Structure 1
Amino acid sequence: MTINRYGAWRGGPDPLAPPYDVRAAVDQVGAEVLAGGSLRDALRNLLRRGPEGGRGLDDLLARARRLRREAMRRGNLDGAVTRAQARLDQALAAERDELAQRDDDNARFAEAQLDNLPRSTARAVEELANYDWASAEARQIYQQILDGLRNDVLEQRFAGMKQALQNAGPEAGAAVKQMLSDLNDLLGRHARGEDTADAFNEFMEKHGDFFPEQPGSIDELIDTLARRAAAAERLMRSLTPEQREELAGLMAQALGGADLSGELAALSANLRTLRPDLNWDQRSRVRGEGELGYGEAAGALGDIADLDDLLDQIGQQHPGATLDDIDVESVSRQLGRDAADEVRRLQELERELRRQGWLERGAEGLGLSPKALRRLGGTALRHVFAHLESGRRGQHDLRSAGAAGELTGASRSWEFGDEQPLDVVRTVANAVRRPGPVRLKVDDFEVAETERRASAAVALCVDLSFSMVAEGRWGPMKQTALALSHLVATKFPQDALQIIGFGRYAMTLSQGELAAVDPDMVQGTNLHHALKLAGRHLRKHSDAEPVVLVVTDGEPTAHLEADGEPVFHWPPLHETISLTVREVDQLTRYGATLNVFMLGEDPGLRRFVDAVARRSGGRVFTPDVDDLGQYVVNDYIRARRGRRGRAA
């Protein structure tokens, strides 16, 4: 009986391990968001720079750009004409040498023919088609011009065909013509929407030797042929008109008349109809020291086109782009197998982030899921708690209800630090009961007991104006809001937190919206609108301790009109200040705590927040930007205990 033993893998890296640490990738995105970066940019940077320990799309882009530059310097595109001209000169020189050794009229007539050849290489080759060569060497060189160009053209359009045609007899040319005729018939039927599955199999069974790639479907066949045909078309368009005319004439001679040329032209037309999205008409200025033959020049342009497509795919700039858009086979063909493996790993990472619930796709692309936002908020809170004093983490002291609680009808003796309302009747009665003149003493004072509120309604108003970005306060602000949101969700779930962002106007933000929000480049600090939304939130939770926290770096410069339109003006209008103060007074009458966290030392803001603090009984904090989270979270914990807790 076989006994199997199982243990830890010891043969190197775990073959079943994921390509990247998914949680580390999420933390990498979170770190950039908490530093003030855009969520969209952070996700894009994760893939562009690559997670820790791997390469990203930027490396692949740099490699693709370098290869494209090299392809653009590969050589001159008119090398086919130049080489044909050089070979023609060799053939004519050999023919003249042979004719010079002959002393007859035919030799002199032949020399006259050679002397009157057109200057155009293509037309000279055409006129020499029926010339009776005296030199066997010259005849062979001339034939090499035609055979070489024909083989180059067919090799470029059908990989592997050049070798098959070399040293082949006339039957090879007939087989090529038959293959092209059958191929055009097959593509025509496919373009008309006919079912060509069986026809494709019959075609491959008959002509499969011409296609060493062995395509598995008609679409694979079309993709391969269309890419090569488009490269050939781009080669012709990239030449000067004179070069184009020369090459076209040489190709017509090399392909042996109208049959083969016509079939190739029909093939290009069919492929262009089936794949119109390829860059058929693009021109490229390829330059270099060498002279490129027809196949080399078309190959260089094909590589450039493929690299252009890769640059677009890897760039991920088009709307809704995902890594699945990248053609891994093209990456392997152009950039190498290691680059293709890197793309596969990045694709797997993106899929794993979605599969494990860290990312979700919305109308504007990929975004963090609630699961990822919880992890992000936890990271922010840990950063804040790392600086809080020991013993204040999450204290939940509810011994006192505060002045905003409901009156119970009972009273108790006043103690230092109490902020509950005085029970005037009982206080005076205590003084009256004492013999002698009625004079109030400390021991006479009593405060009205209020019913404690076990939950808090918290409105965190955060400044989203441009100055927060310009002064480097955007990241700490976002980290603070996410930390407080996570604290409420995990430690005080009975509390109701509403995050309100305000620039020229105010808006409520969910945790996900806060993480993704980008800076508002429009000027304006509409605290009036923010406090109005804060009041609505508090009144929805009338049984909770009302707390309003404001984080800002500028005095109010905008307010909301009755029609809902924001008005901005600098310096602040009297109307803006008056409307903002009115909202402060309404929150104060409601019994809300209103504390302001002032960032920076703007004199106008200092005067405003000091006045607000005096009117509302709130407090003003001026933390360093790096300490903002500690101040806000600590103050929230204190404020939610009620007024007695805040005074303690």
Structure 2
Amino acid sequence: MTGYRYGRYVDGPDPLEPPADLRSAVDELGREVMEGASPESALRELLRRGVDGTTGLDDLTARVWRKRAAIQRRHRLDGTLQEVRRLLDEAVAAERRELFPDPDDDARFREAVLDALPPGTAAAVTELASYDWRSAQARESYEKIRGLLGRELLDQRFQGLKQAMETVTTEDVDRIRRMLDDLNGLLADHAAGRDTTERFAGFMRRHGDFFPENPRNTDELVDALAARSAAARRTMNSMTEEQRRELAELGSQAFGDPETARQLSTLDGLLQGLRPGEDWTGSARFRGDRPLGLGEGAQAMADLAELDALAEQLAQSYPGARLEDLDLGALVRQLGPAAGVDARRLAELERLLRNQNLLERAPDGTLQLTPKALRRLGETALRGVLDSVRARGNRDSARAGAAGEPTGATRPWAFGDTEPWNVPRTLTNAVLRTGGLGLDVVDVEVDETEQRARAAVALCVDTSWSMVQDGRWVPMKRTALALHHLISTRFRGDALDLVTFGRHARTVDIGELTALEGVWEQGTNLHHALLLAGRHLRRHPDARPVVLVVTDGEPTAHLEADGTADFSYPSTPRTLARTVAEVDALSRLGTALTVFKLGDDPRLAAFVDMIARRAGGKVVSPDEDGLGAAVVSDYLSSRRSRR
């Protein structure tokens, strides 16, 4: 029998992982944009917070900084010096035990030599370099010092060599020296601009086991070595002056021969010349109680550098930043596999938002929402508004626009519908569902028909600063999105114009209105807004004129003949007269005028009541949460009120 074994999927992203929820992400983006953020900053904010249970960049960054602080808080860099001191004390104690029972003068002379050793660790080790040990245990401990120093110096620059060289023979030392000599020759040729392709290949054949990174060419070899060498330099920079002096002196005892230290010093110089961009001068403050050896210290410094690079990548603050730039390998090394999964999900979300035509670059280089994204926002806004309408006891009509005339759109059949079937769409649905012509009720689509005359609608929204400071900015935008989506999808024959008015008024598209930022500006120029609304209505003489005004303040500005805005607070009789004159002009067109009054300003209440009576319109006073439902309900009722 064939057996099967199941385990964690390790070859890239989990294929069973649920896809990113784009709808939720677009809603989040839209909320940020409507509150005044640019799409660029809204996307950054979304990625920082995370979405749908995925850890955001802020949380990942916090984990990076916590790990960085933990490395410095737990460790100190004198581990090699402490171990050398321990081995030295062990060797001296063993030698004294060997000499103590011996009564001859040579034993007493040797004890005097040991008594006269300098207090410094490096000086004492150097002093004993030529000492003829009587104790085999003492000689072994002293040789361990030389082997330890050699391994630590190599581990500083060649990661993992210390563990691979727990025991070092004379042949090993000779091989290391040959490798260093060949390496320095290779790098010297590379620095001189010579072609090192063949020399590199021969070097890797002879010494490739020293380099688990498996570099493919000299440049990759230099990159790997320079990063480690720079970390070793920063380790030394982080020590005290006395510790650096001690280690420099001890270096000459590595493997019992100063040649190794000289070759490593030459290697460091070559690497610094080849990669001056590495951090060769940095340092860090370690304040813990766990000692690290030279190799471990270099690894700790390399980890700190990697964590710093990750923090910069996660901040996404540099020009052209993309989550695809994130070093996932480094993130997994430092924070674990779960962090890699979260980062991949965020990068995938960013990629989908860009690649599925939800975000695009404007001509000026800024990021903006696409029409597709705006449609999704409008659909969400309209759904919320219609839910509110139904909760208030109103019923949405499935019919749109002149009686009995098809709009060209279709929709799924629902119980009670009397519209004619759309046969092509119905049969297409059946074929797609079954592969044949097995017709079911779920396949049926009917033609939408218009029941009322087409309308020309002008939605005029107040964008003065009071709308921002009183929390009416986002409800106003959500209302415009909902109405725009309703008309563009259900009442396609209607013509909608969006007009904003502050000190001046202007016609905007839904994208501009969605991304509009609040600006401190005095003035509520309803006169100019109604002028633009009237111009829109006159362009559609065959349509029923509808004007919807959303405002929280009485008119305080009007447009002069030269195009300048005349502002005065409180409002002047001239501003009120010019505004009322434009209301009268709209009334003569047969316009259905509705004013949505926000707030409790008595002067505004008196003014809108007056113009409603004058124009045969009406005033609605919704709260901020009910604004969208009020506007959409009024629009629908205006269409039904007249055949």
TM range (shorter): 0.7 to 0.9
Contact 1:501 1:530 in 2 (8 A): no
Inter-partner Cα distance in structure 2 for 1:73 and 1:545: 74
Contact 2:458 2:533 in 1 (8 A): no
Letter paired with 2:159: A
User: Are 1:585 and 2:581 an aligned pair?
Assistant: yes
Alpha carbons of structure 1 residues 492 and 153: separation in structure 2 relative to 1, 3 Å = same
Q: Does 1:475 align with 2:474?
A: yes
Separation in structure 1 between the aligned mates of residue 150 and residue 286 of structure 2, nearest angstrom: 23
8 Å CA contact 1:381, 1:487 repeated in 2: yes
State TM-score, norm by structure 2. 0.76
The structure-2 alpha-carbon separation of the partners of 1:620 and 1:532, relative to structure 1 and needing over 3 Å to count, comes to closer
Residue of structure 2 equivalent to 1:396: 401
Q: CA deviation at 1:526?
A: 4.7
Shift of 1:238: 1.6
Q: How far apart are residue 384 of structure 1 and its match?
A: 1.6
1:474 alignment partner AA:
W
Is the CA contact (8 Å cut-off) linking 2:252 and 2:259 kept in structure 1? no
Does the aligned pair in 2 maintain the 1:98–1:134 contact within 8 Å?
yes
Any idea what SS the aligned residue of 1:386 has? Answer: helix
Q: How many residues align?
A: 577
Higher mean displacement: 236-245 or 165-174: 165-174
Partner amino acid for 1:629?
G
2:336 corresponds to 1:331: no
Separation in 2, partners of 1:186, 1:36: 60
Q: Identify the residue that residue 305 of structure 1 maps to in structure 2.
A: 305
Task: Work out whether 1:380 is the aligned partner of 2:385.
Answer: no
1:485 corresponds to: 484
Residue number in structure 2 paired with 1:206: 206
Question: SS where residue 43 of structure 2 aligns?
Answer: helix
Cα distance in 2, alignment partners of residues 107 and 57 from structure 1: 69
Cα distance in structure 2, aligned partners of 1:361 and 1:351: 14
- Residue pair 1:458, 1:495 contacting (<8 A) in 2 also: no
Provide Cα deviations, 1:465-512, integer angstroms capped at 9, x if missing partner.
3x4444433332221111122123223445443434456766654333
SS at structure 1 position matched to 2:596: strand
User: Which runs of structure 2 are paired with 1:225-236 in the superposition (5 Å)?
Assistant: 225-236=225-236
State the partner residue of 1:239: 239
Cα deviation for residue 314 of structure 1 reads 2.4
Matches within 5 A, 1:416-455: 454-455=454-455
Aligned counterparts of 1:63 and 1:513: Cα–Cα separation in 2 = 38
Partner residue, 1:124: 124
- The answer for the alignment partner of 2:596 in structure 1 is 597
Cα distance in 2 for residues equivalent to 1:12 and 1:297: 34
Superposition deviation, residue 293 in structure 1? 1.9
Q: 1:568 to 1:589 in 2, by over 3 A?
A: closer
Provide closer, same or farther for how the CA distance between residues 160 and 295 of structure 1 changes in structure 2, counting only shifts above 3 A: closer
Provide the residue aligned with 2:634 in structure 1. 635
The letter for the 1-side match of 2:374 is L
2:551 corresponding residue in structure 1: 552
CA deviation string 1:111-137 (max 9, x = no partner)? 444444333322332333333334333
In 2, the alpha carbon distance for the partners of 1:184 and 1:562 equals 83
Quickly say closer, same or farther: Cα 1:491–1:225, change in 2 above 3 A: same
Q: Assess if the C-alpha contact under 8 Å between 1:585 and 1:616 holds in 2.
A: no
Deviation by residue 1:79-109 (Cα, 9 ceiling, x = unmatched): 2222222332333333344444445555455
Alpha-carbon distance in structure 2 between the residues aligned to 1:560 and 1:226: 69
The more displaced of 103-112 and 170-179 is 103-112
Q: Please state whether the residue corresponding to 2:76 is helix, strand or coil.
A: coil
Instruction: Verify the 8 A CA contact 1:20 1:51 in the aligned structure 2.
Output: no
Identity %: 46
Moved more, 317-326 or 27-36: 27-36
Residues 73-222 of structure 1: pairs in structure 2 closer than 5 A: 73-104=73-104, 106-187=106-187, 198-222=198-222
List gaps (5 residues or longer) in structure 1.
1-10, 400-451
Compared with structure 1, are the counterparts of its residues 516 and 121 closer, same or farther at alpha carbon in structure 2 (3 Å cutoff)?
A: farther
Aligned-pair CA distance for 1:243: 2.3
Structure-2 separation of matches of 1:258 and 1:191: 25
- 1:565-616 CA-to-partner distances (Å, cap 9, x unmatched) read 98988xx2657x8558636634643656654322222345445545665676
**What is residue 346 of structure 1 aligned with on the other side?**
346
Letter of the 1:355 counterpart: N
From 524, 529, 532, the counterpart of 1:531: 529
Tell me, yes or no, if the aligned pair for 1:464 and 1:502 is still in contact at 8 Å.
yes
Supply the distance in 1 between the matched residues of 2:196 and 2:549 (Cα, whole angstroms).
Answer: 69
Contact 2:54 2:345 in 1 (8 A): no
Structure 2 equivalent of residue 360 of structure 1: 360
| Residue 623 of structure 1, CA deviation | 0.6
- Give how far 1:151 is off: 0.3
- Identify unmatched segments of 5+ residues in structure 2: 1-6, 405-451
Change (3 A) 1:242 1:374: same
TM-superposed deviation, 1:220: 4.2
Within-5 A mapping of 1:62-73? 62-73=62-73
Distance in 1 between the 2:252 and 2:473 partners? Answer: 68
Contact persistence 2:528–2:559 (CA under 8 A): no
Question: 1:442-467: CA deviations, max 9, x gaps?
Answer: xxxxxxxxxx99451524324263x4
User: In structure 2, what is the Cα distance between the partners aligned to 1:518 and 1:551?
Assistant: 17
* Pairing of 1:452-467 with structure 2 (within 5 A): 454-456=454-456, 458-463=458-463, 465=465, 467=466
Deviates more, 1:614-623 or 1:627-636: 614-623
Distance 2:255 2:500 in 1: 72
Give the counterpart letter for 1:396 in structure 2. Answer: G
Q: Any residues of structure 2 matched to 1:507-518 within 5 Å, and which? A: 509-518=508-517
C-alpha contact (below 8 Å) 1:354/1:360 kept by paired residues: yes
Note closer, same or farther for the CA distance 1:619–1:29 as it changes in structure 2 (3 Å cut).
same
Taking a change above 3 Å as real, the CA distance of residues 216 and 358 of structure 1, as seen in their structure-2 partners, is: farther
1:324 deviation in Å?
0.5
- SS of 2:388's equivalent in the other structure is coil
Distance 1:527 1:269 in 2: 72
User: Once superposed, what is the RMSD of the aligned Cα atoms?
Assistant: 4.2
2:385–2:628 Cα contact (<8 Å) kept: yes
Q: TM-score, normalised by structure 1?
A: 0.75
Task: Report the counterpart of residue 622 of structure 2 in structure 1.
Answer: 623
CA contact (8 A) 2:554 2:571 kept: no
Contact between 1:500 and 1:507, CA under 8 Å: does it hold in 2? yes
CA contact (8 A) 2:386 2:396 kept: no
Q: Paired residue for 1:413?
A: none
Q: 1:90 is aligned with what amino acid?
A: E
> Which stretch of structure 1 is more off in the superposition, 61-70 or 146-155?
61-70
Q: Deviations over 1:1-57 (max 9, x none)?
A: xxxxxxxxxx99998666414444445536745984745555345434444254444
Q: Is the contact between residue 527 and residue 555 of structure 2 (CA under 8 Å) also seen in structure 1? A: no
